Amino acid sequence: MKIFTAEQIRNWDQFTISQEPIPSIQLMERASMSIAHWISEHCKNHKKMIMFCGNGNNGGDGFTVARMLYQKGFDVDVFVSDPKGKFSEDASVNLKRLGDISGVSVRKFGQIEEYIFDDKTIIIDALFGTGLSRPLDGEYKDLVNLINTKRNIKISIDISSGLSADEMFEGNSVVLKSDYTLSFQSWKRSFLHPETGKYTGKVIVLHIDLSKEYADATKTNYFVIDDLLVGSLFKPRNDFAHKGNYGRAIIVGGSYGKMGAIVLATRSALKTGAGLTFTLAPRCGYEILQTTCPEAMFMEDGEQWVHNFEFDKEVTVGIGPGLGTHEDTGKGLLNFLKNYSKSLVLDADALNIISENKKNLNLIPIKSIITPHPKEFERLFGKTEDSFKRLELARKKAQELQIYIVLKDHHTQVVTPDGNVFYNLTGNAGLAKGGSGDLLTGILTSLLAQGYSEEHACIVGVWLHGRAADLASEKHSKESMLPTEVIDELGNVFHELNKMVTIKL
């Protein structure tokens, strides 16, 4: 799914209005109907709604939703800055329609202090939409601060008021903290970054039949990784295949005291389906790896750390989990990279070794995949003020170095050499523990070995990783789930993918 800017979304609306054709007031009705339907289906135990509406079209949506919810049997009260103020054309029409209903009161924001909020009251935010271009101030800032003190469920229409769709406002801007955001047609970038996404609550994308022609023709550099995309890239197993058809993966890493990391990476590579999986590790890890990963072949180098990076050129390489940063390891890795030209996966200590000198970045073979978490990214490329700026720096570096950067975050971002960004929608906070990144290294290496392109391996890999974590959290909770339990769920994820393909056929 494409992610569009606020300006592109406005153009999408206008294109739909002119090409369908449909009057703008009718498009507002259609969008509001989807909101009212969702609320009525999911909030059956709450009969009282309080709607805060702005003067623009987001407020117009709010007026329309208020009318529809009242007709569905809900008690609805509406608050505006001034009922006699200036509203957008469509908002004015819907405010008048609402005024014709005697059972709905329209009050001024100033009267909110006298309003009684009971436990069953739901607050609906229709103050500002995607057109907001500056932080809230004045009465709107005061109102949102007041709303945020209420413990009631809060639902925002299209976007939480105070958020920009495309960026992060500077300073300590005030934003309404929603429990749910009911967004129209597509995701917004601000939903997907930690500094802004924390305000959205659970995001529900409601389709309102905006023009498919516009969506297909309009260019963007930003996308979300959803089930539809992954289903189109997934390669089902061929019944007549043999192990030679699915490549040879080698995971390089491990050092004294850090064998768990390479065990996790090796097990995830095996579980993701590589035809043959090898592990290159020091001798101190022999018994551990042969016991925990009997399906993988052990290759020995060094006593307590790896220093010789030598193996068959016909393998796909993933380097880093538990590798350590011993001087001999660092020299061995950099010498290897100087003479290696195939794409590979680099993570963890491999990235820490490279980050010791900025010149080392040029040793990374083109089309390779690096998987830094934010701190590792900072060591490699420098500090940034926020995750939006970090992502733009990642885009710049991916293009300069012609590599793929998998920037690990709540919504992990796959950044491609041509400047595209794919935000992953699977995964949860249960992955915020040691070992989770090692799983991703094994998954990516395995997919590359099986013949996925670098871009497709990244997209499918981060989705697999996150989806397995979602299944693990359902069984064990985010707090208690372990990386090993995420590996155990990979089989169930592949069951889901195969069902997707079967249904598609």
Domains of the chain from N-terminus onward: 6-220 (3.40.50.10260), 230-504 (3.40.1190.20)
HSE-up (13 A, CA, CB side) for residue 37: 10
Token reading at 264: 């996790």
Please tell me whether the overall predicted TM-score, pTM, comes out greater than 0.85 for this model: yes
When pLDDT is averaged across residues 315-327 and rounded to a whole number, the result is 98
pLDDT band of residue 502 (cuts 50, 70, 90) is confident
pLDDT the model gives residue 158: 98
Please give the Cα distance from 291 to 276 (Å, whole number).
17
pLDDT the model gives residue 170: 86
Q: What is the 3-state secondary structure (H, E, C) of 95-110?
A: HHHHHCCCCCEEEEHH
Please give the full DSSP string across 169-218, using - where no structure is assigned: -SSS------SEEEEESS--GGGGSHHHHTTT-EEEEE-----HHHHHH-
| Sign of the dihedral defined by the CA atoms of residues 260, 261, 262, 268, in that order | positive
Would the pLDDT of 505 be above 80?
no
Please give the Cα distance from 25 to 23 (Å, whole number).
5
Token reading at 282: 């020091």
Would the pLDDT of 206 be above 60?
yes
Cα 59–Cα 145–Cα 109 angle in degrees, nearest 5: 45
Please give the Cα distance from 423 to 349 (Å, whole number).
25
pLDDT band of residue 312 (cuts 50, 70, 90) is confident
Closest C-alpha among 496, 470, 492, 491 to residue 481? 470
Burial track 306-338 (b if 16+ CB lie within 10 A, e otherwise) = bbebebeeebbbbbbbbbbbbeebbebbbebbe
pLDDT the model gives residue 183: 98
Q: What share of the chain is helix, strand, coil (3-state, %, to 5)?
A: 45, 15, 40
Name, in order, each residue with C-beta under 8 angstroms of 118's C-beta and a sequence gap of 6 or more.
48
Cα 116 to Cα 76, 112, 150, 364, distances in angstroms: 13, 8, 11, 62
- Peptide bond before residue 21 is cis, with ω within 30 degrees of 0: yes
pLDDT the model gives residue 208: 97
Would the pLDDT of 503 be above 80?
no
When pLDDT is averaged across residues 411-428 and rounded to a whole number, the result is 98
Would the pLDDT of 504 be above 70?
no
AA letter at 217: A
Would the pLDDT of 316 be above 70?
yes
* 8-state DSSP, 111: G
pLDDT digits (tens, 9 = 90+) for 236-259: 999 999 999 999 999 999 999 999
Find out whether 376 and 355 touch, Cβ atoms under 8 Å.
yes
pLDDT digits (tens, 9 = 90+) for 155-189: 999 999 999 999 999 888 999 999 999 999 999 99
Closest C-alpha among 68, 72, 63, 62 to residue 176? 62
Token reading at 70: 């009242």
Token reading at 416: 């491609």
